Structure 1
Amino acid sequence: MPLAATGELVAHAAGTRSAVTAFNVITLEHIEAVVAGAEAAGAPVILQVSENAVKFRYGRLLPLARAAVAAAEEAAVPVALHLDHVQSDELLRRTPGAGFGSVMYDAARLPYAENLAATRAAADWAHARGLWIEAELGEVGGKPGQGGGAPLDAHAPGARTDPDEARAFVADTGVDALAVAVGSVHAMTTRTATLDHGLLGRLAAAVPVPLVLHGSSGVPDGELVAAVAGGIAKVNVGTALNAAMTGAIRGFLAAHPEAVDSRKYLSVGREAMAREVTRIVHVLGRPGP
C-alpha cells in the first residue's frame, strides 16, 4: 500500500488513547523484520532511520531510505518513514527527496533558548515542505548532555521535561509532537526503567500536541501500558531489536560454528526481531489501566 503519513498515524493514536510504535532500523533485515512483525500483529508501524544509522551507512541516506519505502509499499499494513534524532541541518534538508514524511529534529542538547530557536527554524523549513516534525525538550537518559558533556542521568535534577516550559516551547516552535523526558533511557539492555507517571499526566494536560516516549526498550511492559494510558502516542524502540537480533545470531553461531553463509544467521536474527516487533505491538495494544 502507499507509504503512510507519520502525522496521521500519530494523530489517530492520540485520538484513541493508544500508541503507534516506531522502530529504528539499521539494515535491510531490520526493515523486513519490522514490516513482518507489524503484519503479524495487524497494526500500523513507523520505520525510523536515525542520524547515527546514516553515519553508519557511510553518510548515505538514500540506500536505506529507498529500501524502507519499497518495503512499506509492499506491506499489508500502513507503514510510515521517519528520520530520527537529526542534529545536522544538512541531513534535514535531504529528508523530502528521500521519501521521508516526517523528521525528529533534536536540539535538546542545547540550552533552552538555543533549542527553541533552532527548532523553530527547522519547523518552519519542514512545514513549508509538507513535513511533520517532532522535537525534544528535557534530557532523555543515555544521550550526551547539554554542550556534548557526559550523559545526564534520567533521574538527575533538571533532566525531566517541565510542563510549563513544554507548553511554551510547543507554542513558540510550532512542532507537531514532543518527545518528553519522564525517566526512560536510551540504549538500555535491561528493562528496569521507572517512569514518572505524575509528570507525564501534567505534560499531557499542558501540551496540545501528541507526546513521544524515547528510550522505550528499557521500559517494562506495565510501565509502557501505563505511559500510553497517560498520554504517550508514539513509542520509539531501537535497542530491543538489536538485542533480539544479536542474541539469536550468537546462539546460532555457537550451535553451528562451521556456518559461513550469512543468510543462515541473518535469517535467524531477522525472525527474532520480527517476533519482538509483534510482541511489543501487542503490549501497546492492550487496554490501559
Structure 2
Amino acid sequence: MNDKINIYESKHKENDKVKKHFHQTYQILYALDGNGSCFLDEQEYCIRPDSLLVIAPFTSHSIEAQSKMTVLVLEFDEKILSDDVQNELLAEAFQQSEVRVLNAFDSSEFRQLLRKMLYEQSHGDHIREMVIKIHLSEMLCILIRSKQEGHIVDQNVLRVERIKNYIERRYFEIESAEDLANKMNMSKRYAQSIFKEMYNRTPMQYLTEVRIGLVKKMLIETNKSIVSICFEVGFESLSTFYRIFKNQIGVPPNVYRTTWANKKA
C-alpha cells in the first residue's frame, strides 16, 4: 500500500467467494449493485445496493456474492491523515467493523463524495491528494453521525433476510403469518412491517410467490398430479390453491399446463 488514498472497482460473479483474509489498511466498501453476504470478525451481514462495509485494519473478513455484484473499494493508511483526523474522526468511524445502510440523504451525499474522489484520482491537478483527503474526512463525518441509525437499519436488514431465506427453504410448512412470525421470534406486525419496507410485499405475499413459482415449474417439468403439487408446496386446500393460482397467473393450473404442453409439441 502506498501513501495515497486508493479507490478501485471490485467485480464479483454470481456465487463468487472471497476467502477469509485481512488487510493492514483501512477499507470502506460501497456496494453499487448486486446482493451478497459477508463475515466481519465472525459476524454475518447482508450486502445489498448502497451497503457500506466499514473494515478496520486486521479485521478478518470474507465475502460471498449471491448475484453479480460490483463494489467500490476505498483503501488508505492512517499515516496519510493528520493527527486530529486520526484521533477525532478515524478512531470513532472505525470503532467497529460492520456493514451499514445509510438513510437516503446520507447515501446520496456519500455517493457524491465517491464521485468527486474518483474524478480527482483520474483528472485532478497538483492539489488532488489534499482534496481527496478532505472528501475522506467528510465521509468519516457521515459515518460517525449515521452510525447509530445505520446499525439499527442493518439489524432489520438481517432480520428480513432471515425471514426471506426461511420462506425460500421451508415454504411447505408455513401455516400462517402468525406461524412464520413465531418461528422468527418476532411479532406478526413487526415481521410484516420490516419485510414490506424492504420488499414492498408482506411475508405471506412473498410465500405465495415462491409457492406459485414452484408450482409453475412442476406443472411444466413433471407429470405430477395437480393435487400432489398443491400438497407438496404447502397449500392445505385445493380450492384455495386454484383460486390463488388463477388470481396470480390468470388461468387455472390445468389450463397453464396444457398451454405449455401445446407449445412444446
For the pair shown, the structure with the greater C-alpha radius of gyration is 2
**TM-score after normalising by structure 1:** 0.21
**TM-score after normalising by structure 2:** 0.23
Greater strand share, 1 or 2?
A: 2
Greater helix share, 1 or 2?
A: 2
